[in-house]
C-alpha cells in the first residue's frame, strides 16, 4: 500500500487553488506487512505522524538533503516519544553522513531547539548508496543515483512479487538508461514530472535546464521504456494549481491511460 502525504516540490503551496492535490512537500508512505517505510521528510510528514499517534516504528529513506525534503522533521511528533523506533537511511554527501545532516538542520539560530535537546525516540542512522540492498522483513529496498544538483537517490521497494519505484528530483540526461533499467517491470513508478518540455527548455518562461527536475513528457518515456504498470506524476510545481495539474494529467493520459497525479491522502494498492 502506498499513501501520499506530501506531493509538491521546492516549497509548500497551501491555498484554495491547490487544495485538491495538496500543498505539502514530499513524503510518501509504503506499507509492506508490518514494515512502515517512509520516503522523505517534507512537510507532509507532520500529518503522517499525527495519523499514527504519539509513537511509531519506521524506516525513513531520504532521497537527498534539499530543504523541501527535510523541513517537516522538526514537526514529526513521534520523534519526541521514547517508544518510537526510527531508522534514517540516506546518502553521505561532501563528507557528511545522514546523521550529520539530520542533526545539523535543527540548529540555532535557524531553529529554537536542537535534535539532541528534544528527540526522545530510539534513533539510528545508516548510510545507503547506489547498489545497496536493504532488507526490511519481507521487503527489499535498493537505491540508484539519479541526476540532481548535489546528488540524489531513487529507491525501489520490492515486496512479495510487487515493486514500487520512487524517483523524485530526477532530471533527464546521462542517467536515463540506468533509471529505465532500475524501474524495469515495476508495478508503480512515482516520477518527478515538475515541468513540461516547453518550461524546461525555456520556450515558456526561463529555462529550467540543470535545476534537477524532469518533465511529464519524460515521465512517459521512462514509464514506457521500463514497462511499468502504473505511472504516478510527483513533485508538482508549487506554482501549478489544481486546474493546471488536471490539464497536465490529461496530456499524459493520451499516452498512458492509467496515469495519475499524486494527491495528498491518495492511497494506491499495488
DSSP 221-255: HHHHHHT-SEEEEESB-TT--HHHHHHHHHHHHTT
pLDDT for the residue numbered 108: 85
User: Alpha helix locations (H) across 91-212?
Assistant: 98-104, 115-118, 176-182, 197-201
Least confident of 39-48, 111-120, 242-251: 111-120
> Looking at domain 2-268, which CATH architecture does it have?
4-Layer Sandwich (3.60)
Per-domain residue ranges of the chain: 2-268
State residue 101's pLDDT score.
92
Counting Cα atoms < 13 Å in the Cβ hemisphere of 125 gives 11
pLDDT score at 123: 96
Mean pLDDT of the chain: 96
pLDDT at 117 over 90: no
Is the pLDDT confidence value at 218 over 90?
yes
Q: What pLDDT, on the 0 to 100 scale, is given for residue 115? A: 86
Dihedral, CA of residue 11, residue 169, residue 266 and residue 248, to nearest 10: 90
Would you call the peptide bond into 109 cis, given omega within 30 degrees of 0 as the criterion?
A: yes
pLDDT-based confidence at residue 116 (cuts at 50, 70, 90): confident
Amino acid at each position: 500500500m502506498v499513501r501520499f502525504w506530501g506531493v509538491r516540490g521546492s516549497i509548500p503551496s497551501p491555498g484554495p487553488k491547490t487544495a485538491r492535490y495538496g500543498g505539502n512537500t514530499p513524503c510518501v508512505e509504503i506499507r509492506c506487512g508490518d514494515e512502515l517505510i517512509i520516503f522523505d521528510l517534507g512537510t507532509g510528514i507532520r500529518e503522517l505522524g499525527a495519523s499514527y499517534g504519539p509513537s511509531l516504528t519506521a524506516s525513513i529513506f531520504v532521497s537527498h538533503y534539499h530543504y523541501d525534503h527535510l523541513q517537516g522533521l522538526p514537526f514529526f511528533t513521534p520523534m519526541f516519544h521514547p517508544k518510537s523506533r526510527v531508522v534514517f537511511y540516506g546518502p553521505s554527501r561532501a563528507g557528511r553522513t545522514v546523521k550529520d545532516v539530520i542533526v545539523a538542520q535543527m540548529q540555532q539560530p535557524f531553529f529554537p531547539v536542537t535534535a539532541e535537546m528534544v528527540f526522545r525516540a530510539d534513533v539510528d542512522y545508516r548510510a545507503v548508496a547506489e547498489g545497496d540492498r536493504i532488507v526490511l522483513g519481507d521487503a527489499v529496498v535498493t537505491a540508484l543515483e539519479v541526476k540532481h544538483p548535489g546528488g540524489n537517490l531513487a529507491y525501489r521497494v520490492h515486496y512479495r512479487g510487487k515493486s514500487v519505484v520512487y524517483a523524485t528530483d530526477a532530471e533527464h540526461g546521462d542517467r536515463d538508461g540506468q533509471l529505465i533499467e532500475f524501474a524495469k517491470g515495476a508495478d508503480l513508478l512515482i516520477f518527478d514530472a515538475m515541468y513540461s518540455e516547453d518550461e524546461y527548455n525555456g520556450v515558456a518562461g526561463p529555462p529550467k535546464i540543470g535545476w534537477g527536475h524532469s518533465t511529464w513528457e519524460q515521465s512517459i518515456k521512462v514509464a514506457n521504456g521500463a514497462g511499468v504498470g502504473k505511472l504516478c506524476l510527483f513533485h508538482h510545481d508549487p506554482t501549478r494549481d489544481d486546474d493546471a495539474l488536471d490539464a497536465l494529467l490529461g496530456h499524459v493520459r493520451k499516452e498512458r491511460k492509467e496515469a495519475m497525479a499524486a494527491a495528498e491522502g491518495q492511497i494506491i494498492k499495488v
